[in-house]
Amino acid sequence: MHIADRTPADLRSASALWDQAGLTRPWNPPELDLLRALAGETSTVLGLFDGKILIGTVMVGHDGHRGWVYYLAVDDTHRGNGLGRRLMVAAEDWLRERDVVKLQLMVRSANAAVLSFYDRLGYEDADVQVRAKWLR
């Protein structure tokens, strides 16, 4: 297995993986998120491959100080084998290489299993609220 930056050619396989993992919402096309991340100089999407098959992803980017992670997903048939942890280490390393000092992420409050996963990796509740406004 290996981890590599993704390309727009991975649009369908990444989107299908994100759908399977329950990360997508009807009002937010994930394909557009992937294209924006790949077009930016301060972001990418890393993919975990078993041979030529995409089995995991993590979107990572930064604003120069804080890094962010989105779309961490591992194919259902490969979960429980430490691959999510491996992808997070890759995202953290990607940010460290760019001198980013802090990593943040968002998890839906009701997603207890994912909150527990991040707890095990040493992530803490930052005691902040995330506010959003659509700019469309």
Residue 133 lies in a domain: no
What does the pLDDT look like over 46-93, one tens digit per residue?
999 999 999 999 999 999 889 999 999 999 899 889 999 999 999 999
Residue 130 lies in a domain: no
Residue 22: the pLDDT is 87
Distance CA 16, CA 13 (A): 5
3-state secondary structure of 68: strand
Residue 117 lies in a domain: no
Residue 98 lies in a domain: yes
Band of residue 6 on the pLDDT scale cut at 50, 70, 90 = confident
List the domain range (segments joined by +) for residue 97: 2-106
3-state secondary structure of 49: strand
Residue 112 lies in a domain: no
Domain count, the chain: 1
Residue 129: the pLDDT is 85
Residue 129 lies in a domain: no
Residue 3: the pLDDT is 94
CATH number at residue 34: 3.40.630.30
Residue 70 lies in a domain: yes
Q: What angle do CA 7, 18, 60 make, to 5 degrees?
A: 55
Band of residue 44 on the pLDDT scale cut at 50, 70, 90 = very high
Handedness of CA 70, 10, 99, 120 (dihedral sign): positive
Residue 50 lies in a domain: yes
